[in-house]
Each structure stands twice: as structure tokens, then as C-alpha cells.
A and B are shown apart, each in its own frame.
Chain A
């Protein structure tokens, strides 16, 4: 085994090793067997489940309207004071007198939205580029991969900052765009790698010999069997895009409209008062860490389970 060298080679090796199973079905079956017994996977699933439930019922269990400045009188009375915890407001208020607990609960919705949509956009871009490169090969492959190489040559988070700075008036969509575009090259390379590994495989050769047309071969035989590493990557991207979106907010490149709360934004907004009121940063940061951990746990255990080296 030649050990992979750079980032690109590592991505390729990952793609290949996952695509190499004897056939997709038995690999998936054996992976599922191991996943069911994996405590890491189960803990991750439970965390994600809890957050999904919270996001779903947040509007109903939130004690107050997250946009209403219920505590504003108190703010005006004591200048520059952040409303403390009090009956009905267990976590107190935020910088402009809105109930903090309610914002935290409802914030789960937009935060999950950012993660899911950023992943979907990155995935879609990567699927298109990776399929193009993996299916056509030759000159198309070369062109697509050089573009991907250049994108991979810039540190991901730095690239996201650059894209974020492109927009004069950032909003939720531009934040999602900035953190998703940087994921496209990784997805593309993963998919291309595992599709190339499929090309010489028995079932593709058999299909070709039976006279199946190139289109169905790509979409019915190669693509479905190449999705393993892409699925693993998706769960990890869900985690990083939520963290990256928070970093954008921290740099002032996030969504300035905070009528609908979002954890990354709450964390970014808290930075000016963090020394005097650390709880305003602690709670949204804690939520981000736990949800990111949930997706990371699931992603890591999926990767282990799909790795043919661990089979049996």
C-alpha cells in the first residue's frame, strides 16, 4: 500500500477504499451491522434526534416571542445593563431585551437550516462536478480537477471568509453560500475518485458487455455505488458548516438581520459583552458544540463502518 501524500491524495484514497467493496449491497449490510452496535453512532443519533425535536417544537415551547423586546423597559431604566434572569425569563434577556431562552430554543431552527442547506448546496455542486469528471474522464476530467485543485489550494475557512466578503449586504443566504461553496471541491474529488474506482469493476464491465448505454451505466451503476464516501462527508460538513457560519458572524460577515435568531449570530453578537456577560456567549456556543459533535460522531462512525479494512 502506498501511503497517500497531500490533501488531494488523501481524499482520493478515501474515495477508492470505500468504493472497493465486493459489491455495494453487502458492504452496506455489513456496515449497518457494525453501526447498530456502535455506541459512538448511537450517541450521535440521539443528539441529532434531540435537536431535531427541539427545532420542531421550539415555537410551541418557547415561553416568549423571540423577537419581542419584552425586557426593553428594564434596559432603558438601567442603561447598558443586560436584563438578568428573573421569573418568567430563566436566562434573562439579550442585548436589546429579548427573552434569551426563547431565542436559544427557536435559534435551533435557523442553525439547522444553515447546516442542512450549506451541505445540500455543497453536495449538489460536488455531485455535478464529480460526475462530470468521473463519467467522462479525459479532458473534462482534467479541466474539472484543475479547478478543484485550485480551490483546494486555499485554506477552507479563509476561502469562506473571502466569499463572505463578496457580499455588501450579507444575509442568511449569502452565509449559506459562503460556507457551502468551499465544500464543493472536496465532494467533487471524493465522487470522482470512487467513480474512477468503479470503472474497471466487474459489474460495470458486465453491464458494458451486455450493451447497456453509457447514460444508464453512469447513473444506475456507477453513481449509486460511489455515494458511500459522499454520505460520510455530508454528515461531517453539516458540523463544519454550522461552526464556519458562526465564524463568519464573528467577523461581521454574517446575517445582520437578527429578528429570527440563529446560534452563530447570537454568539457573534455576544462578543462585545463577553467579559461582563459570558452567559450570552456560553449558551449558543454550547448548543453549537453539542450539535456539531452529534453530526461528527455519526460521520466518524459511518466512515469507520464503511471502511473495508474494518470488515468482518
Chain B
């Protein structure tokens, strides 16, 4: 297990290094570049050259990359140019990260809580009306653009019915901030109003974000349960006369969960992309909204760091999934 972990960690470092090179090259390839982004069309040749030198852009490209890498390793990713001008990119990230974590966690919990039981039920009643209906529903769910679903929910539940708030992370409530996770803050400081308010603001974006992971988790669970039910060891257990409930719990569910765990991990990565769209619709001030603004206003330092961090998280989550997998199934370690 230790050797497996070390090997995977080395792979991780390599992937992150290659990624940093890619993101760096990507930034250099962007049209205009930081000098034009800062000076616009107003710069004289002299001021351009001066700024270029100040930013270190006149140096050889490889030297630039290693300097970028060195600074990135110390946590210095530069300052935002247009999203929150002047703030360091790291500040912006830290300030917005809890919002995205809160939203994504809530969404993935929703998707898991709905997806696994429904997938299991659909598989148990294969071919019945419930199975057909939910499989059909999951296919439609994947075909809906995330941001349109977000708008639709906002229109129905916020604009028309006015049951839920449509924008931001909180209402007019003055709340004490402890962790930056608004719902948790309210619970910790026992300001129940604030917690409830934050929860209501979280609901619509989380449902929109949860749709695709829900559909995917549902389908994988259904397929996995159907797979396992036909395995020999289930037949053996049945012929031994074990109770149905014991077979279901110990043989079917446990083994069916393996691919489901993987899928959940993969979906966490995909959530980051979905968060960009959902947060923009609901002006939910998270990392995704800053990314969307960064695209819109061409804030390269923001884009550079945020995409890099998103990719690293994605890779890390995959690593965790694989490790937890190796814990459950010893055969994987051997490979």
C-alpha cells in the first residue's frame, strides 16, 4: 500500500509540473498579453518596454517559466488586473473558495443521496415503470445545459413563485464570520436566522449543479447493481439460503459501490466547471464566478491560477479515489 501511494504521489508531481508548463505556455500564447491588458491601447512604446521589463517579460522564455514556477511554489501568483484590480490572485481565491466548496459539497451530497438509492431501486425493478421513467429522466438531465437549468430554476422558484432568493450568498442579515462557510458559520455562532438564510441561498444553485452528477451517479449505480446481481457469488449466497437482506447488504451493495465511488470522484472534478456556470447565474460569489469574470474581462493572472488550482484539485481527488479504492479492493494494489 505504501509503495502504491508513493508511486501515485510521484505521478501526481509529474502531472502537476507538466500542467504548470501548459498553463504557462497557454498564458504566453494568449492574444495581447499582460502588457496590453494593463495599458490597453494607450501605452507608448517606451512605457510598454518599461512595463515589460518590470514584469520580466523581456527575459528568455525558459527563465520566465522557472521564475513563475519558483514564485508559484511560494504561493505568489501575481495580482488581478480586471476582476478585482490590485488584489492578489491568492487573496481573491481564499476569499471565494469557501463559497464554492460549500456549494459543491452540498450539490454532491444531494446527488449522492438521490442517485444511489434511486439507482438501486431502478436496478431492483429493472424494466418496470419506475426504472424506465428514471432512466429516461437521467438521459434528459444530461442533455440540459447546466446554466439553462440554473436560469429555469431561478425563474420558477425565485422570479415567479418568489419562494427562494435568486442572487448572492446571503440576504440583509448581519452575520458573524468564522470559517467563511456561511451555513456552518450560522450554526457555530448559533445565529439560526443567518444559517437558514444562507441555506436558502444555497438551495437553487446546488440543485442546478447537482443535476448532472445525480444523473451520472444514478446510472452507474443502476448498472453496477445489475452487474453484481448476476455474479456467481450472489448466486452462491442465494443457494446457501442466506437472507435476502443480508445478500443485498453484504454482497450486492458493497461490491456495487466500487465503481460508484470512482464516479463520485470524477464528478467532483466536473463540478468545478459546472460551478463556473451556476455561480455566474446566481451571482454566487465563489471561485467559479471569478473565473467566469476572468474569461469575460481577460484577467490572465486570475485565469492562470484558478485553472491551475482546479486541475490540481481534480488530480488530487482522483488520487484519493484511487487510494480509497485500493483500500477496498486489494487486487488493485498488486498491479
CB contacts under 8 Å to A, within B172-208, are none
- At the interface with chain A, which of B88-96, B121-129, B143-151, B240-248? B143-151
Secondary structure at the B interface, as helix, strand, loop or mixed, is helix
Cα-based distance from A10 to B329 in the complex (angstroms): 16
Secondary structure at the A interface, as helix, strand, loop or mixed, is helix
The answer on a CB contact under 8 Å between B140 and A289 is: yes
A231 on the interface (CB 8 Å rule)? no
* Contact A285-B276, Cβ < 8 Å, known A153-B314, A155-B269, A157-B270: no
B159 on the interface (CB 8 Å rule)? yes
The answer on a CB contact under 8 Å between B19 and A271 is: no
B321 on the interface (CB 8 Å rule)? yes
Most chain B CB within a 10 A radius of its CB, from A146, A246, A247, A271 = A247
* Contact A166-B266, Cβ < 8 Å, known A251-B295, A296-B142: no
A176 on the interface (CB 8 Å rule)? no
Q: Total interface residues on A, using CB and 8 Å?
A: 46
* Contact A247-B277, Cβ < 8 Å, known A153-B315, A289-B143, A296-B142: yes
A293 on the interface (CB 8 Å rule)? yes
The answer on a CB contact under 8 Å between A162 and B26 is: yes
Cα-based distance from A161 to B321 in the complex (angstroms): 26
The answer on a CB contact under 8 Å between A7 and B151 is: no
Cα-based distance from A2 to B258 in the complex (angstroms): 11
The answer on a CB contact under 8 Å between B140 and A155 is: no
A250 on the interface (CB 8 Å rule)? yes
| Total A-B contacts with CB atoms under 8 angstroms apart | 138
Least CB distance from B92 to A in Å reads 18
Question: Which residues of chain B are near A157, meaning CB under 8 Å?
Answer: 270, 273-274, 276
* Contact A155-B310, Cβ < 8 Å, known A6-B321, A252-B296: yes
Most chain B CB within a 10 A radius of its CB, from A4, A156, A158 = A158
B220 to A, closest residue via Cβ:
A10
The answer on a CB contact under 8 Å between B310 and A5 is: no
- At the interface with chain B, which of A125-133, A188-196, A274-282? A274-282
* Contact A3-B26, Cβ < 8 Å, known A168-B31, A288-B145, A289-B143: no
The answer on a CB contact under 8 Å between A267 and B148 is: yes
Least CB distance from A84 to B in Å reads 18
Question: Which residues of chain A are near B22, meaning CB under 8 Å?
Answer: 150
